[in-house]
Amino acid sequence: MAQYEHLPIYKAAFDLLIYFEKIVKNFSRYNKYTHGTALRDLAREALVLIIRANNSSEKLPVLEELRIRLEELKTVIRICKEVSAFPNFNSFETSINQVINLSKQNEGWMKNLAAKSRGRNQMTAPAGSGI
């Protein structure tokens, strides 16, 4: 089984999950059990997808699923801002910036995999194939 604790994307996702666990405590009762639950669940799913991608031989489909989860998370964060669930603007700003950081790391991982895949395909292409 592959190790994942050393990955910067794992550390960032873990920190985001802990941040949401702490910040949701300050939400009103209604927001805590609706939007707060969504924040915590999506952050947890993102963390699990990072672990799954790191342990998988086919990483790209898992990273694409992670991309979708992060977009969903951004949407929930924006909803929380609009319904004033966050105790202050700084909480919103921190949340959205951390998710954007995760998204950038995910995109970088995907590009890295694509580049490695292209490199392997060029090395294995028969001579005169035009690749």
Question: Nearest-CA neighbor of 13 among 128, 125, 131, 98?
Answer: 98
At 4, is the pLDDT very low, low, confident or very high (cuts 50, 70, 90)? confident
Q: What is the pLDDT of residues 29-76, one digit of tens each?
A: 999 999 999 999 999 999 999 999 999 999 999 999 999 999 999 999
Domains of the chain in sequence order: 8-111 (1.20.1440.60)
For the whole model, what pTM was predicted? 0.85
Question: Nearest-CA neighbor of 6 among 50, 46, 41?
Answer: 50
Give the per-residue pLDDT at 118: 78
